[in-house]
A = this chain, B = another copy of it.
């Protein structure tokens, strides 16, 4: 069975938010919304992603990060309603 990690976050601090998003890219996930990443994972990846995030957030406050491991078939059955939505613009805003 194939799995997808879906990670959604709400992080107050710009620097921490950028660190988290860079980490999620580095482990191979793709940004699907301004504050959400998804990507195929092996079951063993879950612990690594969680451990990596725990390391990054240590000492910080004002954050909520949620990790969902769902089957690829459930992921592919998601409904996406989208219009005139550009993720590139949003990513640049993080750097301002």
Contacts and interface: CB of A to CB of B under 8 A. Distances in A.
Nearest to A67: B79
A82 B32 CA distance: 21
A68 interface: yes
Interface residue range, chain A: 35 or more
A84 B62 contact: yes
Interface in A68-95: 68-70, 74-75, 77-85, 87, 90
Contacts of A83: 57, 60-63
A79 to B, nearest CB: 4
A77 B50 CA distance: 13
A64 B78 contact: no
Contacts of A6: 68
Contacts of A44: none
A82 B69 contact: no
B84 A65 contact: no
